[in-house]
Structure formats: structure tokens, C-alpha cells
Amino acid sequence: MVVNLDEMKMYLRVDSGDEDALITQLLESAEKLCMDIVRGDEETLVKSKNCKMAILYTAAYFYEHREEADYKQLMLTLRSLLFGDRRDGF
């Protein structure tokens, strides 16, 4: 994983371990979504200048907006963040 659980919990300002499983799943989903946007794998994300911030932002968005998430807006934001690292084709 590009972002580990402790980094994510610090970003979210979560102190307890009660939601570790949920946060880990959100991190995995965020990383997969970012990989889909850049059309690459984890290695591609590691090389990206903005990938870590994009993953943190995405996982935090998932965490904070569990009920009323605007996925269209999220995707537009992520595409803007990761546009420079996006490959032309699959």
C-alpha cells in the first residue's frame, strides 16, 4: 500500500483502533480508484507526485461522506490531481 494505516489515521485524526478494519478497506478502495484513474498499478502510483495526497483525500472523503457522497465531484477532483500521471491508454 502507498499509504499505511497509521498515516491514514493521523490524517483523519482518529486515535482509537475501533475502526481500523473500515479505514483499511477505505484505503484499499481509494488506492484502487487512483490506480484506475492513472491507468496503472501500485508502482505507477508510487512514482506519481500527487498519488499519496490523492489516496489520503479519497479515503478521507469515503470516511467522512459515508451517507451522502458525491462521487461525480470526487472523480473530477481526483482526475485533476492525477491528470499529469495518467497514461494515454491501458
Range of the domain at 11: 5-85
Supply the pTM of this predicted model: 0.89
Residue 37 covered by a domain: yes
pLDDT per residue over 26-77, tens digit each?
999 999 999 999 988 888 888 888 899 999 999 999 999 989 989 999 999 9
Our count of domains for the chain comes to: 1
Whether residue 16 is contained in a domain is answered as yes
Q: Within a domain: residue 56?
A: yes
- With beta carbons less than 8 A apart as the criterion, state whether 53 and 30 touch: no
**9-19 confidence digits (pLDDT tens):** 999 999 999 99
- Residue 90 in any domain: the answer is no
Residue 65 lies in a domain: yes
In a domain, 18, yes or no: yes
| CA torsion through residues 74, 3, 8, 84, sign | negative
85 pLDDT tier (thresholds 50, 70, 90): confident
